[in-house]
Amino acid sequence: MKKIKITFILLFVFLLASCDKPRCENQNSIYTNNAIHSKVYNDELTRELSTEEGITYWLKEVIVMDGKDYLQVYIYNANICTVGQFLVKDWSSIKGIHETKGIGYRNAQLQGFAYSITYTKTETILNFERLTRIID
């Protein structure tokens, strides 16, 4: 009976640990010293995203700012450790996230995460387009 309890506890701990996002520490001062929605921050993020491979995306939260819906997403690979803020205009590929305002999906991996970029003189806007799978 004691072996079963220990096995169950170890399995439970393993499952909890396997469902979490990677841990890392930001090394880029641009992310530390600028607001997530600033042009400087997003210009740096788009520059890094265009040159890096093996990037993973993990849901942080859903927010509303100035009447617009955004996904805040943890962005990781060997060289990047930051959060991006993506404007959402079409919730069709992530209805569950929209309906729950992200609750229950936090720290879920977002596979096939696709976005576009809108550049203006005063803003760089990251636009969420779609994703193929949520691993929670």
- Sign of the torsion angle spanned by Cα atoms 128, 70, 135, 10: positive
Q: Would residue 72 count as lying in a domain?
A: yes
What's the pLDDT score for residue 9?
47
Q: Would residue 99 count as lying in a domain?
A: yes
Q: Would residue 18 count as lying in a domain?
A: no
Q: Would residue 97 count as lying in a domain?
A: yes
Q: Collapsing DSSP states into helix, strand and coil, what is residue 62?
A: strand
Percent with pLDDT over 70 in the chain? 84
What's the pLDDT score for residue 20?
62
Q: Would residue 120 count as lying in a domain?
A: yes
The count of structural domains within the chain is 1
Per-residue tokens: 67 = 């009447």
Q: Lowest mean pLDDT: which of 2-11, 33-42, 114-123? A: 2-11
Q: Would residue 82 count as lying in a domain?
A: yes
**What is the pLDDT of the chain when averaged over all its residues?**
87
Q: Would residue 106 count as lying in a domain?
A: yes
What's the pLDDT score for residue 136?
83
Q: Collapsing DSSP states into helix, strand and coil, what is residue 56?
A: strand
Residue 126 · residue 45 · CB < 8 Å: yes
Alpha-carbon gap, residue 44 to 48, rounded angstroms: 6
- Those residues whose C-beta lies under 8 Å from the C-beta of residue 45, and which sit 6 or more positions away, are 31, 75, 82, 84, 126
**Has residue 21 got a pLDDT over 90?**
no
Full domain range(s) for residue 55:
23-135
pTM for this entry: 0.82
**Has residue 18 got a pLDDT over 80?**
no
Sheet holding 124-130, edge to edge: 114-119, 124-130, 81-87, 68-76, 56-65, 109-111, 133-135
Beta strands in 66-101 (DSSP E): 68-76, 81-87
Q: Would residue 33 count as lying in a domain?
A: yes
